[in-house]
Amino acid sequence: MNEFNEINELFTNEWLQFIEFTSMLIQHILAKLSEEDQVKMRQLFESSKLGKEQIDFMLSNAIIDEEVQAYFEICMNTSKAHGAKKDLKQAFKQLTIAKEHDLNLNLNEAIVHYNKGILLLDLNSKELLSKILTERAKILEQLREYEECLIDIEDAIKFSCKTYPDLDQFKKDITEKLIGYNLKLREEFGPQRNRLNICALTENKQLPSASSLVKMNYSPDKGRFIQAQADIPKGTIVFAEEAYVKWLKPSQYEKFCYFCIKKITLRFFPCRNCTNVRFCCSNCEEEAWNKYHSNECNYLGVLKYFSYGHIAAQCLLIAGIENVIEIEKQTHAELSKWPKKEFKQDYHTFASLCAFDGDWPYPYNFTMCFAVLLVLRLLEKMNLITKQSEDYSTIGYIMIKLISKINLNCYSILNSKFRHLEALNVVSHKETNDGIGTAIYLSASLPSHSCDPNCMKIRNGSMLILTSTRKVKTGEEITITYRPHFKNRSFKDRQHYLYENYSFKCKCNACENVWENIGYSFKCPNCEGPLILNSDKTNYCVECSAANVISYDDVIKQYEESERLIRESKKLFAQNKIDESKELLLKANQILCSFYSHNDQIAIDYLLARCCELQKNYREALKYAKQVIKKQENIFGKSSLEVANTLLLCSLLCDRYKKTFGGIFQRQKRQEAKLFREKALNIFKCFSKSEIRVVSADFSHYLPYVIHILRKYGDEYSLNYCKV
Ligand SMILES: C[S@@+](CC[C@H](N)C(=O)[O-])C[C@H]1O[C@@H](n2cnc3c(N)ncnc32)[C@H](O)[C@@H]1O
């Protein structure tokens, strides 16, 4: 078992570590099994689908049982060795340091030590907790962090057994300050700075958290899907749903609320039992505790290795094991009878979610099975099941099904509510992965995928919002993208990705019509037509149908060189070496000339416009900005936010340009600036209902100008931006 400890040290990502570990373990186990069992195990895990058979085999084999137990104990001992415990003495030590910092006006340091102290405090000492929360609130007040301060005061009032008129007054004062402060922000930045003000929709009786404009329907091709039952204007919220299960990556335990996944900034509320996880307030702590954390709390050190296994365990705990067994037995037969008449937000619904139907590759399926056995062991420890129970292996099997459902229906929870590229309406060549957790939504699991979707996802903590990105007509299907978009992957790559990851052959409109992304293609050496590149290195020209006419590796090499040049030029730009930066950009531009409209070309033109602007060469800056518009129209559409942003940039450049002229030219440029501005505002207005106007990263430099324009000319709602 020593080698396993080494692996523990090697990996920072628990799940990767676990996969690596189980891959190694399978060899270890095979070597110990009888020849007959070796053959059986190989067959079970190398060829057939994961299910009851594998679970039963693993449960009935004494050697495997021993290995499971041995690993389980290692995890338990490791987590015991590393986990800090509540310690009143240490807590007081921290609180004393905090007080000293407070007296010396080192307010941020004081908060750090209050946090450390509160984490170690026994929450049963309610009066003490209330007193310390009040002290922390006072510091937060001095830091003008009124929202955070108010949460502490409310918790202080909640935990205090006595009535404190002082606390009530404190709450009143801070509430007033907060209103005043928000009004000030509103004056400076417009309404609702950085905030997406969306309440869960409750109008739809069939689908909780969906708008009444949609309903569920069924087709033999796709199963259940969501359909518009009235015309839906662009920018309408069709789903706003809280996650049924939300799982935070262990590496994020200290950074986000373990229950609602809100970012922890200055302060947090601790778990009543452990020092592993943090909450944004006592209400979240209470809810998590009541729903699942009371059971799993002491075993987080073990569970954190199992990722999907942990999420499945949380599903079981939230739903209640007996309930799950009962309902799973009933619904198993019902799955073929879609659509359901009723759609209740209970475990019944979760059980009826579609499951991943493909084959998990070996030894990944062994990893999953092993995780399930470990969770079963944990459930025993929690006194929720016994090994003697006839349902023991059934729960194992249910867990496998749960994992398959999670695999197919899960959404990533992203670090920032606006960071997701889709929210920027940008389809990027390179995909980013800044997931901090995983969530399951019951209603929002139903929309189908399309490579040309009509809705986009926006995350706000663990809340998922789907909004329409164009007008959706009555009867049309509501679609989102499961990742591939016809603007960033070839038809072949899209089909491959969806089959590999979700086990279905995509039948969306874009795929049925074999749409290729011309905007991302390369130039065919024969006819200069759009040449489509697939990730398996094949390529073909849409215009002359020539196949495999270029070397994939050569193109990628050139592309990487252009990327390097852009990187270097950005560095030079940051050092204020504008001429040198421009030179590299022009070189990169030359390389990318043999490609069609890439995002990278847009980035280059943006930077060139910026260089020219700093050189006060507004005419050339305007030329590059106009080139950006053309490419953006090509990629994102004429009325996209990207185009609107660049139109505003053009208007800014015209304004500056005009100052270098006199008389008639000045008037002409003023007129031009106005035209650009009006076009931009018209686009922004279309997005105003969705309350989302995002300024993309490339554009952040012009943010003050955007704010200025929107405040001066936009409607009341057209300013809700986010720096990214
Ligand atoms: C997350 S579920 C969507 C809800 C599912 N249709 C149901 O009945 O529960 C994903 C499954 O829907 C079907 N599906 C979704 N988008 C599809 C598409 N573009 N083409 C074909 N099938 C699709 C596939 O069976 C896929 O495995």
Q: 196 pLDDT band (50/70/90 cuts)? A: very low
Residue 519 resides in a domain: no
Q: 714 pLDDT band (50/70/90 cuts)? A: low
Asked if residue 451 has its Cβ within 6 Å of ligand 1, the reply is no
Beta bridge partners of 472: 232
Q: Which two tokens stand for residue 370?
A: 């092993």
Protein residue closest via CA to atom 22 of ligand 1: 222
Helix intervals (H) in 304-439: 308-319, 321-334, 347-351, 364-381, 392-409
- For residue 593, is pLDDT > 60? yes
Which atom of ligand 1 is least distant from the CA of 447? 3
Same domain, 181 and 277: no
Same domain, 177 and 275: no
Q: E-strand spans in 54-160?
A: none
Asked if residue 410 has its Cβ within 6 Å of ligand 1, the reply is no
Asked if residue 571 has its Cβ within 6 Å of ligand 1, the reply is no
**What is residue 425's predicted lDDT score, i.e. its pLDDT?**
44
Residue 398 resides in a domain: yes
Same domain, 270 and 391: yes
Among 242-256, 406-420, 443-457, 476-490, the minimum mean pLDDT is found in 406-420
- For residue 471, is pLDDT > 70? yes
Asked if residue 502 has its Cβ within 6 Å of ligand 1, the reply is yes
Judge whether 355 and 402 are in contact, CB under 8 Å. Answer: no
Which atom of ligand 1 is least distant from the CA of 409? 1
Asked if residue 446 has its Cβ within 6 Å of ligand 1, the reply is yes
ipTM: 0.99
> Higher model confidence: residue 658 or residue 290?
290
> Higher model confidence: residue 421 or residue 451?
451
Residue 641 resides in a domain: yes
Q: 507 pLDDT band (50/70/90 cuts)? A: very high
Q: E-strand spans in 403-534?
A: 411-414, 435-440, 448-449, 455-460, 463-468, 479-480, 522-523, 530-533
Which atom of ligand 1 is least distant from the CA of 502? 27
Last residue of a domain, which of 126, 159, 189? 189
Protein residue closest via CA to atom 13 of ligand 1: 222
- For residue 183, is pLDDT > 50? yes
Averaged pLDDT, 157-178: 83
Residue 243 resides in a domain: no
**What is residue 94's predicted lDDT score, i.e. its pLDDT?**
94
Judge whether 273 and 297 are in contact, CB under 8 Å. Answer: yes
Asked if residue 409 has its Cβ within 6 Å of ligand 1, the reply is yes
Which amino acid makes up residue 680?
Answer: A
Q: For residue 482, how far is its CA from the centre of ligand 1 (angstroms)?
A: 10
What is the residue whose two structure tokens read 């296994």?
309
What is the residue whose two structure tokens read 């922004």?
684
Residue/partner pairs of 629-636 with CB below 8 Å, 24 or more apart: 631/519, 631/597, 631/601, 631/602, 631/605, 632/602, 634/519, 634/597, 635/427, 635/487, 635/519, 635/520, 635/597, 635/599, 635/602, 636/425, 636/426, 636/427
**What is residue 571's predicted lDDT score, i.e. its pLDDT?**
93
Instruction: Report the percent of the chain where pLDDT is more than 70.
Output: 83
Judge whether 525 and 549 are in contact, CB under 8 Å. Answer: yes
**What is residue 182's predicted lDDT score, i.e. its pLDDT?**
65
- For residue 231, is pLDDT > 80? yes
**What is residue 82's predicted lDDT score, i.e. its pLDDT?**
64
Q: For residue 449, how far is its CA from the centre of ligand 1 (angstroms)?
A: 7
Q: For residue 208, how far is its CA from the centre of ligand 1 (angstroms)?
A: 19
Same domain, 283 and 392: yes
Asked if residue 408 has its Cβ within 6 Å of ligand 1, the reply is yes
Q: 42 pLDDT band (50/70/90 cuts)? A: confident
> Higher model confidence: residue 421 or residue 470?
470
Q: 11 pLDDT band (50/70/90 cuts)? A: very low
- For residue 718, is pLDDT > 50? no
Q: For residue 133, how far is its CA from the centre of ligand 1 (angstroms)?
A: 48
Instruction: Report the percent of the chain where pLDDT is more than 90.
Output: 34
Number of domains the chain contains: 3
Q: For residue 505, how far is its CA from the centre of ligand 1 (angstroms)?
A: 9
Protein residue closest via CA to atom 7 of ligand 1: 224
Which atom of ligand 1 is least distant from the CA of 338? 8
The DSSP code sequence of 580-645 is: HHHHHHHHHHHHHTTB-S-HHHHHHHHHHHHHHHHTT-HHHHHHHHHHHHHHHHHHH-TTSHHHHH
Asked if residue 577 has its Cβ within 6 Å of ligand 1, the reply is no
Residue 685 resides in a domain: yes
Residue 196 resides in a domain: no
Last residue of a domain, which of 411, 428, 461? 411
> Higher model confidence: residue 686 or residue 51?
51
- For residue 428, is pLDDT > 50? no
Smallest CA-to-CA distance from 412 within 355, 363, 483, 354 is with 483
User: Cβ neighbours of residue 663 under 8 Å, at least 6 residues apart?
Assistant: none
**Model confidence over 262-310: pLDDT tens digits?**
889 899 999 999 999 999 999 999 999 999 999 999 888 888 888 888 9
Q: For residue 223, how far is its CA from the centre of ligand 1 (angstroms)?
A: 6
Averaged pLDDT, 503-520: 90
Q: 706 pLDDT band (50/70/90 cuts)? A: low
> Higher model confidence: residue 529 or residue 712?
529
Same domain, 282 and 402: yes
Among 358-362, 422-426, 436-440, 541-545, the minimum mean pLDDT is found in 422-426
Judge whether 539 and 547 are in contact, CB under 8 Å. Answer: yes
Q: For residue 411, how far is its CA from the centre of ligand 1 (angstroms)?
A: 14
Residue 222 resides in a domain: no
Among 249-253, 358-362, 421-425, the minimum mean pLDDT is found in 421-425
> For the chain, what is the mean pLDDT?
82
Residue 287 resides in a domain: yes
**What is residue 681's predicted lDDT score, i.e. its pLDDT?**
80
Same domain, 171 and 279: no
Q: Hey, which of 218, 404, 449 would you mutate to test ligand 1's pocket, going by the most ligand atoms within 8 Å of its Cβ?
A: 449
Neighbours of 31 (CB within 10 A): 8
Asked if residue 479 has its Cβ within 6 Å of ligand 1, the reply is no
Q: Hey, which of 348, 354, 508 would you mutate to test ligand 1's pocket, going by the most ligand atoms within 8 Å of its Cβ?
A: 354
CA–CA separation, 351 and 339 (whole Å): 14
Asked if residue 504 has its Cβ within 6 Å of ligand 1, the reply is yes
Q: For residue 61, how far is its CA from the centre of ligand 1 (angstroms)?
A: 37
Among 165-179, 238-252, 609-623, the minimum mean pLDDT is found in 165-179
CATH number at residue 131: 1.25.40.10
Protein residue closest via CA to atom 9 of ligand 1: 354
C-alpha to C-alpha distances, 664 to 310, 659, 668, 669, 670, nearest whole angstrom: 70, 12, 6, 9, 10
Same domain, 282 and 397: yes
- For residue 214, is pLDDT > 90? yes
Determine the structural domain holding residue 305 and report its residue range.
Answer: 266-411
Among 68-72, 187-191, 265-269, 387-391, the minimum mean pLDDT is found in 187-191
Neighbours of 80 (CB within 10 A): 12
**What is residue 195's predicted lDDT score, i.e. its pLDDT?**
41
Which atom of ligand 1 is least distant from the CA of 445? 1
Which atom of ligand 1 is least distant from the CA of 446? 4
**What is residue 720's predicted lDDT score, i.e. its pLDDT?**
42
Asked if residue 445 has its Cβ within 6 Å of ligand 1, the reply is yes
Which atom of ligand 1 is least distant from the CA of 506? 20
Same domain, 281 and 402: yes
Among 4-18, 79-93, 538-552, the minimum mean pLDDT is found in 4-18
- Parallel/antiparallel/unpaired status of strands 539-541 and 530-533: antiparallel
Asked if residue 224 has its Cβ within 6 Å of ligand 1, the reply is yes
Same domain, 620 and 720: yes
**Model confidence over 319-375: pLDDT tens digits?**
999 888 888 777 665 544 444 455 666 777 888 888 887 888 888 888 889 889 999
Q: 384 pLDDT band (50/70/90 cuts)? A: very high
Q: Which two tokens stand for residue 500?
A: 């590999």
CA–CA separation, 625 and 702 (whole Å): 13
Last residue of a domain, which of 345, 378, 411? 411
